[in-house]
Structure 1
Amino acid sequence: MSQFDSIRPFFDAEANAAIRKIVDDPMMEAMMNFTFPNDTKEHWKDLMVNTYSLRDFQIKFIYPGVQKVLEKSSEGLSTGGFEQLEPNTAYLFISNHRDIILDTSLLNSCLHENGLVLTTSAIGDNLIKLPFLHTLSRLNRNFAIKRGLQGRALLESSLLASSYIHKSLLKENRSVWTAQREGRTKDGNDATQRGVLKMLTLAEGGSNPFDFFEKIKVVPISISYEYDPTDVLKMPELLAKSRDEKYVKSENEDFMNLLRGIMGTKKHIHLQVNGVLDKEVKAINATDQNLSEKLENLAAVIDRKIWQGYKLWPSNYIAHDTLSASNTYSAHYTEEEKAAFLQRMQQKIESKNEFLTQSFLSMYANPVNNFEKSRGSA
Structure 2
Amino acid sequence: MSKFDAIRPFYDSEVNEAVVSSLNHPMMKAIMNFAYPGIAEEVWQEQLKRTHSIRDFQINFAYNALKKVLEKSSDGLSTSGFENLEPNTSYLFISNHRDIILDTSLLNVSLYDHGLLMTASAIGDNLVQKDFLLKLSKLNRNFLIQRGLSPRELLMSSKLVSEFMYQLLAKENRSVWVAQKEGRTKDGNDATHQGVLKMIAMASDEKNCMDYFKKLRIVPVSISYEYDPTDALKMPQLLAEARDEVYKKEKNEDFVNLMSGIVGQKKRIHIHVGKILNEELESIKNECDNSNKQIQALAQVIDDSILQSYKLWPTNFIAYDILYNTDKFSSHYTSKERQVFERRLELRIDADHKEMVESFLTMYANPVVNKLKYTDATF
Instruction: Give TM-score, length-normalised by structure 1.
Output: 0.98
**Structure 1 position 356 matched with structure 2 position 353:** no
- Structure 2 unaligned residues grouped into runs of 5+: none
Alignment partners' CA distance in 1, 2:16 and 2:283: 46
Alignment partners' CA distance in 2, 1:84 and 1:377: 21
The superposition leaves residues 50-74 of structure 1 with CA deviations (integer Å, 9 ceiling, x where unpaired) of: 0000001000110001000000000
Counterpart amino acid of residue 307 in structure 1 = L
Per the alignment, in what secondary structure is the counterpart of residue 222 of structure 2? strand
Equivalenced residue count is: 378
The superposition leaves residues 49-99 of structure 1 with CA deviations (integer Å, 9 ceiling, x where unpaired) of: 100000010001100010000000001111101100000000000000000
Shift of 1:210: 3.3
Q: Is the 8 A contact 2:350 2:357 kept in 1?
A: no
Give the structure 2 partner of residue 337 of structure 1: 337
Classify 1:170/1:337 alpha carbon distance in 2 versus 1 (closer, same or farther; 3 Å).
same
Give the structure 2 partner of residue 109 of structure 1: 109
Shift of 1:376: 6.2
The superposition leaves residues 13-52 of structure 1 with CA deviations (integer Å, 9 ceiling, x where unpaired) of: 1110111111110100000000000211001000001000
Give the structure 2 partner of residue 84 of structure 1: 84
Give the structure 2 partner of residue 313 of structure 1: 313
Alignment partners' CA distance in 2, 1:15 and 1:267: 34
Give the structure 1 partner of residue 172 of structure 2: 172
Q: Is the 8 A contact 1:202 1:209 kept in 2?
A: no
Shift of 1:242: 1.8
Shift of 1:208: 2.5
Shift of 1:377: 9.4
Per the alignment, in what secondary structure is the counterpart of residue 257 of structure 1? helix
Shift of 1:209: 3.0
Give the structure 1 partner of residue 370 of structure 2: 370
Classify 1:329/1:48 alpha carbon distance in 2 versus 1 (closer, same or farther; 3 Å).
same
Shift of 1:119: 0.1
Q: How does 1:183-332 map to 2 (within 5 A)?
A: 183-332=183-332
Per the alignment, in what secondary structure is the counterpart of residue 122 of structure 2? strand
Shift of 1:229: 0.6
CA RMSD of aligned residues (A): 1.2
Alignment partners' CA distance in 2, 1:252 and 1:289: 47
Alignment partners' CA distance in 1, 2:346 and 2:131: 37
Alignment partners' CA distance in 1, 2:377 and 2:196: 23
Shift of 1:211: 2.4
Alignment partners' CA distance in 1, 2:306 and 2:214: 20
Alignment partners' CA distance in 2, 1:177 and 1:216: 12
Counterpart amino acid of residue 200 in structure 1 = I
- Structure 1 unaligned residues grouped into runs of 5+: none
Alignment partners' CA distance in 2, 1:342 and 1:377: 27
Give the structure 1 partner of residue 119 of structure 2: 119
Per the alignment, in what secondary structure is the counterpart of residue 373 of structure 1? coil
Per the alignment, in what secondary structure is the counterpart of residue 121 of structure 2? strand
Alignment partners' CA distance in 2, 1:150 and 1:278: 35
Give the structure 1 partner of residue 42 of structure 2: 42
Give the structure 1 partner of residue 155 of structure 2: 155
Alignment partners' CA distance in 2, 1:322 and 1:377: 21
Alignment partners' CA distance in 2, 1:24 and 1:281: 50
Alignment partners' CA distance in 2, 1:377 and 1:98: 22
Alignment partners' CA distance in 2, 1:10 and 1:124: 16
Alignment partners' CA distance in 2, 1:337 and 1:62: 33
**Structure 1 position 75 matched with structure 2 position 75:** yes
**Structure 1 position 18 matched with structure 2 position 40:** no
Per the alignment, in what secondary structure is the counterpart of residue 173 of structure 1? coil
Alignment partners' CA distance in 2, 1:335 and 1:196: 42
The superposition leaves residues 253-283 of structure 1 with CA deviations (integer Å, 9 ceiling, x where unpaired) of: 0000000000001010001111111111121
Counterpart amino acid of residue 176 in structure 2 = V
Q: Is the 8 A contact 1:15 1:53 kept in 2?
A: yes
Shift of 1:207: 3.3
Counterpart amino acid of residue 228 in structure 2 = D
The superposition leaves residues 127-173 of structure 1 with CA deviations (integer Å, 9 ceiling, x where unpaired) of: 00010000000000000001122311110010011000010000000
Counterpart amino acid of residue 86 in structure 2 = E
Q: Is the 8 A contact 1:272 1:309 kept in 2?
A: yes
**Structure 1 position 142 matched with structure 2 position 142:** yes
Alignment partners' CA distance in 1, 2:32 and 2:7: 26
Per the alignment, in what secondary structure is the counterpart of residue 249 of structure 2? coil
Classify 1:375/1:62 alpha carbon distance in 2 versus 1 (closer, same or farther; 3 Å).
farther
Shift of 1:352: 1.6
Counterpart amino acid of residue 128 in structure 1 = V
Counterpart amino acid of residue 172 in structure 1 = E
Q: Is the 8 A contact 1:112 1:118 kept in 2?
A: yes
Alignment partners' CA distance in 2, 1:22 and 1:242: 42
Q: Is the 8 A contact 1:307 1:374 kept in 2?
A: no
Q: Is the 8 A contact 1:226 1:267 kept in 2?
A: yes
Alignment partners' CA distance in 1, 2:288 and 2:141: 38
